Amino acid sequence: MTVLEVNQLKKAFGEVRAVEDISFMVNRGEVFTIIGPNGAGKTTTLEMIEGLLPPDSGTITVSGLSWSRNAGEIKTKIGVQPQSSALFDLLTAEENLDLFASFYPRSKPVEEVLGMINLTEHRNKRVKSMSGGQRQRLAIGLAMINDPEIIFLDEPTTGLDPQARRNIWDIVLQLKEIGKTVILTTHYMEEAEKLSDRVCIVDAGRVVTLDTPEALIGRLTREREVRLSFLEGADAAARTEEALRGVPEILRLEREGEKLTLWSPEPEQALYILLGFTKEQGFRTQHVSIREMSLEDVFIAFTGKEWRD
């Protein structure tokens, strides 16, 4: 069931065409991640969906409602993670949650939210003495205080250390478990791959591709990189390289000393041929690996830009 539908959104700031044409639909209960290079239009898109910025054209439907007619109702259905700078520094975690809860006619018990964001023990800690990770968790808590259907998290893990980042992943997965829809942006590829049901890649204000991480990776060329090295050293590697030239399953070969790398659309078959030859010659191989494609390869293939991490 669709909970969010975005159709042909456009937004310009003077000469800057931040969002050219963005359309997508999000299903209930999914983690939907928007990724893209710097300035691709991700934040502008989120701000339009969140009702903070009016689009120049296009439509946004949240659970069948539109901002122009049902703004009050939409506000009860969405939760937006505030910038951690918007938290009240002198208030405790619990006081911040109480305050935000008072803005809504209906809210989730503060106790429950503290548990979900793993701040029960720190409920009486003031924001100003919290770590970056604790502040981000509190910001996510504020986004869920009105028990919304859709939760927007704009780069919730940027600048956090790996452990703090993982703690945030746990919260996202818990939200998914209880049936919430999460719209996420991130600059971390591993995060997008791990958390998302579907990933939408935007570039220059347009959707360039949208699918599950697995399907996106599967759409790339089936060529795989196979690496190995030879215990007998460079000579054995050179002789194997020579023997494999012209094998139809092997598209390309590169050698550096005792290390050999090859590219093949049928890596298992290529390895079978290669190992047949090395066995015959009495060469011993080690560090054999087939590199799998990742979301990072998808990103580079679709945007032509390196991923920044």
Ligand X SMILES: Nc1ncnc2c1ncn2[C@@H]1O[C@H](COP(=O)(O)OP(=O)(O)OP(=O)(O)O)[C@@H](O)[C@H]1O
Chain positions contacting ligand X, by CB under 6 A: 13, 16, 18, 36, 38-44
Inter-residue contact 141 to 153 (CB < 8 Å): no
Give the span between the Cα atoms of 262 and 150, in whole angstroms. Answer: 46
CB nearer ligand X, residue 156 or residue 267: 156
Query: What is the DSSP code string of 163-188?
Result: HHHHHHHHHHHHHHHTT-EEEEE-S-
Q: How far is the CB of 34 from ligand X (least distance, A)?
A: 8
Closest by CA to 114, choosing from 154, 169, 171, 164, is 171
Query: Which residues make beta-bridge pairs with 256?
Result: 259
C-beta neighbour count of 73 within 10 angstroms = 12
Inter-residue contact 282 to 240 (CB < 8 Å): no
CB nearer ligand X, residue 47 or residue 94: 47
Q: How far is the CB of 109 from ligand X (least distance, A)?
A: 34
Give the span between the Cα atoms of 49 and 42, in whole angstroms. Answer: 11
Q: How far is the CB of 4 from ligand X (least distance, A)?
A: 18
Q: How far is the CB of 43 from ligand X (least distance, A)?
A: 3
CB nearer ligand X, residue 18 or residue 101: 18
Vertex 166 angle, CA 165 and 169, to 5°: 95
Q: Does residue 119 come out as left (phi exceeding 0), alpha (psi in the -120 to 50 range) or beta?
A: alpha
CB nearer ligand X, residue 44 or residue 63: 44
Give the span between the Cα atoms of 207 and 200, in whole angstroms. Answer: 7
Inter-residue contact 153 to 143 (CB < 8 Å): yes
CB nearer ligand X, residue 48 or residue 151: 48
Q: How far is the CB of 306 from ligand X (least distance, A)?
A: 14
Give the span between the Cα atoms of 119 and 207, in whole angstroms. Answer: 37
CB nearer ligand X, residue 94 or residue 203: 203
Q: How far is the CB of 72 from ligand X (least distance, A)?
A: 26
Q: How far is the CB of 201 from ligand X (least distance, A)?
A: 11
Inter-residue contact 63 to 70 (CB < 8 Å): no
Q: What is the DSSP letter of 82?
A: P
CB nearer ligand X, residue 43 or residue 269: 43
Query: How remote is the C-alpha of 286 from its chain's centroid?
Result: 34
CB nearer ligand X, residue 290 or residue 300: 300
C-beta neighbour count of 199 within 10 angstroms = 26
